Amino acid sequence: MNLYKLIGLILMIVTGTKALQAQSIGLTTENDAYLLKKEDAYYTNGLFFHYSYAKPGKLTSRRIHQFTIGQKIFTPLFRNTRTPADIDRPYAGYSFAQFSQTRFSGEKTVFQWSGTLGIIGPASGGEGLQNTYHRWLNFAEFRGWKYQINNQLVLNAAALYAYQMVNTQLFKGILISDAQLGTGFVSASMGTKWVYGLLNSAQQSQLWNAAQEIKGNNKKEFYIYWYPRFTWQGYNATISGGSKTAADSSVRLTPHRWVFQHTLGLAYSAGRWAAQLELVHQSRETLEQLKKHRYLGLQLQYRIH
């Protein structure tokens, strides 16, 4: 199923669930070029469409359901790839569809699980999309896509647990742990999220994509946050996945077992609209990677009453 058919499926779900009182649709885009420093490497582009809904019920037992379709593109540091020696992070495209559910247990505890079906490799369409928008923006093309990771099916399950350690009217400190297991990714991470500003309770906050109330009940939120975390990588198919034969030219590298990432963010929501801005700094993902990485993420969400 291609990207356009998946978008159509989500639109059918939206129009077919009018009985639900709380729905939202959103778009997230992530790219290092947004930093205006002529950086275009490593995790170079991410594009995600998402649809969420929550059935009416008690806030203490509330569940948020979300469907996401998206694509990620990865490239090395150097555009003019001549030989495999020029590649410090493999070329890879990753397209996927995901369903997740977020559950709240009181004010302090959040549990989230998800399932993902995707494809890594030429079938993901990563090369074609990057070449297209580079042509539109008059950017130079990466010339080493013949070395990209080969096709690999992704079937993954993930779980996240969050506990609110500090909870005041203006400040929250949240311990977050998550793990994923499957054919595409095996990893576990631990971090803390520190949030300051105008905030609602967890079950009604944009912090968990939970601010989806009936018309007139949306309360304004405006907050900043810092989210540092460590991740252990057991397996990452965008780095070392795909089949390798003597006849192909794909380049696979060795992942760093430990990756540190910290995120600075700003979020605002009021009425039907919500927006979020994130600056992400990330340590090297492969042993061969020459530089650390940073990129900017932008999200816009519209609530359907």
The CATH number that applies at residue 90 is 2.40.128.140
- Strand runs (DSSP E) across the chain, as ranges? 22-31, 42-54, 63-75, 92-105, 109-120, 152-167, 171-182, 185-198, 221-236, 258-270, 273-282, 293-304
In angstroms, the CA 104 to CA 127 distance is 40
Question: Total domain count for the chain?
Answer: 1
Average pLDDT over residues 243-271: 88
pTM value surpassing 0.85: yes
pLDDT band of 14, cuts 50, 70, 90: very low
In angstroms, the CA 112 to CA 162 distance is 9
Q: Is 228:261 a contact under the CB 8 Å cutoff?
A: yes
pLDDT digits (tens, 9 = 90+) for 19-58: 455 789 999 999 998 998 777 899 999 999 999 998 766 6
In angstroms, the CA 269 to CA 206 distance is 7
Average pLDDT over residues 279-297: 96
Backbone angles phi, psi at 126, to 5 degrees: -60, -45
Q: By residue range, what is the domain housing residue 278?
A: 3-304
pLDDT band of 18, cuts 50, 70, 90: very low
